[in-house]
Amino acid sequence: MNNIHKMTFLANIWLILTTETSAYLITQVFEFWMSIYDKASKFRFKLNFGGKLMKKLLSVIAASIFMTALTSVTPVFGELKGVECLAPAGAGGGWDFTCRVPAAQLMPKVGAVKGSIKVVNMSGSGGGKAFAHVVARRSNDEKLIVAASAATATRLAQKVYGDYTANDVRWVGALGMDYGVVVVAKDAPYKSLDDLIAVLRNDPRRNPIVGASSRGGWDHLKMLLVAKEAGIKNLRSINYIPFDNGGKALLEVISGRAAAFTGDTSEIISQLKAGKLRVLAVLSDKRVPALGDTKTAKEQGYDVVGGNWRAFYAPAGISDTVYEKWVDAVRKVALSPEWTELREKNGLAEFTSFGKDFDDFVTNQINAVAELSKELNIIK
């Protein structure tokens, strides 16, 4: 078998493996050059530089086209390696959890992706730095998935990300609901939500509330809703201090520098098990098993429910084929018994939404948060 036939054979093997249109076109180019070579041989067409040189020239052309096939054809999803999950905050928060557990830990385990998933933390601007990074620099990166939540939708609703919108990415799917909590240090004087509300009513400046979202963000909103339900008129008096992840914010509470933390259940589990925290309330319709006998805010007379869905988005420029593969990957994890066990262990409730349905869900949530933010005088 001569060099050209070898290259043609390899190209057809690549066509079978990838079943991509571009591979088919490359094979057609091979056949075109083969026909030229056959005719040249048949009519003893030597050109001025000799038949041997002609063979070498055609071999180089064939090799070049084959290398183009290797570098330009998009492989099927199951063969992707080097997949990355971007957590838009530092270690220890909900976005970090979303990348490290359902993505990095479970996607390879349930066969949703091949090989390991690299987790990269990129904190800044309440997730805005990561969002801008994906839109501006990696809009076609088919190996990238990004952790998202209701906090992401809140920032988009309030224009915290500037001119970027929900349409600048593709919403892949959600796999759990992380209900909000109001937490204090284990040795804090507050034994109930009423106790905390009393100091916020009388001396809010000296009793700061911390969270992992920006001012007006999802964590801030949850505390404002509780304060509004308690009858506090001047919501701007609540001294909320933002941090770039839940882990850092919790340290402020444990150290006694802040009165309380408003965040999500998954963010507090490890510190709660270590005996460093007391949960005053969970913002859910019913009690969360992972929090033991912690009462809901509703049980204590505050009709507030605040759920933070855990989800993923992908770059807007990826192909529909790869987008559907990412949707299938999230769905596969969400429906797995392994995730059910870890979800419940980390205090997340069941909630799933995928693909187009999830895209519509995010759009509706952004509109709802925008209206709520206007009602609370956070935006105009």
371 Cβ neighbours under 8 A, 6+ residues apart: none
- Tell me the C-alpha distance between 252 and 240, whole Å: 12
pLDDT at position 193 over 90: yes
% of the chain beyond a pLDDT of 70: 79
- Tell me the C-alpha distance between 30 and 24, whole Å: 10
Q: Are residues 122 and 268 in the same domain?
A: no
Angle at 287 between CA 285 and CA 292, to 5 degrees: 165
Angle at 133 between CA 127 and CA 134, to 5 degrees: 95
Residue 266 burial (C-beta neighbours within 10 Å; 0-12, 13-18, 19+) = buried
The confidence score (pLDDT) of residue 92 equals: 84
The confidence score (pLDDT) of residue 244 equals: 85
Residue 260: closest CA among 284, 243, 277, 244: 277
The confidence score (pLDDT) of residue 35 equals: 54
Per-residue pLDDT tens digits for 121-173:
999 988 999 999 999 999 999 999 999 999 999 999 999 999 999 999 999 99
Q: Are residues 351 and 325 in the same domain?
A: yes
The confidence score (pLDDT) of residue 380 equals: 86
Output DSSP code: residue 296: B
- Min mean pLDDT across 42-51, 110-119, 362-371 is at 42-51
Q: Are residues 193 and 270 in the same domain?
A: yes
Q: Judge whether 380 lies within some domain.
A: no
Q: How confident is the model at residue 43 (pLDDT cuts 50, 70, 90)?
A: very low
Per-residue pLDDT tens digits for 11-28:
444 343 343 334 434 444
User: 369 is in which domain, residue-wise?
Assistant: 80-176+309-375
- Tell me the C-alpha distance between 120 and 293, whole Å: 36
If one counts every other C-beta atom within 10 angstroms of the C-beta of residue 257, the result is 12
- Tell me the C-alpha distance between 279 and 277, whole Å: 7
From 72, 107, 124, the end of a domain falls on 72
From 252, 284, 307, the end of a domain falls on 307
From 26, 43, 72, the end of a domain falls on 72
Q: How confident is the model at residue 7 (pLDDT cuts 50, 70, 90)?
A: very low
The confidence score (pLDDT) of residue 23 equals: 40
Per-residue pLDDT tens digits for 283-327:
999 999 999 999 999 999 999 999 999 999 999 999 999 999 999
Q: Are residues 108 and 255 in the same domain?
A: no
The confidence score (pLDDT) of residue 93 equals: 86
Give mean pLDDT, residues 224-236: 94
Q: Are residues 149 and 30 in the same domain?
A: no
Q: Are residues 117 and 172 in the same domain?
A: yes
Residue type, 344: E
52 Cβ neighbours under 8 A, 6+ residues apart: none
**Any idea what the CATH number is for the domain that residue 347 is in?**
3.40.190.150
Per-residue pLDDT tens digits for 232-246:
999 999 999 999 889
Q: How far is CA 229 from the centre of its chain?
A: 32
- Tell me the C-alpha distance between 356 and 170, whole Å: 9
- Tell me the C-alpha distance between 347 and 271, whole Å: 13
Q: Are residues 316 and 302 in the same domain?
A: no
Q: Are residues 216 and 302 in the same domain?
A: yes
- Tell me the C-alpha distance between 319 and 327, whole Å: 12
Q: Are residues 284 and 186 in the same domain?
A: yes
Q: Are 161 and 132 in contact (CB under 8 A)?
A: yes
Task: Give the count of domains, the chain.
Answer: 3
CA atoms within 13 A on the CB side of 61: 16
Give mean pLDDT, residues 347-365: 96
For the chain, the average pLDDT equals 85
296 to each of 176, 213, 290, 309, 338, how far by Cα in Å? 19, 22, 13, 18, 27
Q: Judge whether 56 lies within some domain.
A: yes
Q: Are residues 111 and 167 in the same domain?
A: yes
Per-residue pLDDT tens digits for 53-99:
445 544 544 454 444 444 444 444 445 578 999 999 999 889 999 99
Q: Are residues 260 and 360 in the same domain?
A: no
* Selected residue with higher pLDDT from 229 and 61: 229
Residue type, 76: V
**Any idea what the CATH number is for the domain that residue 250 is in?**
3.40.190.10
What 3-state class would DSSP assign to 326? helix
21 to each of 69, 127, 276, 320, 344, how far by Cα in Å? 11, 37, 58, 15, 44
Q: How confident is the model at residue 214 (pLDDT cuts 50, 70, 90)?
A: confident
- Tell me the C-alpha distance between 178 and 311, whole Å: 11
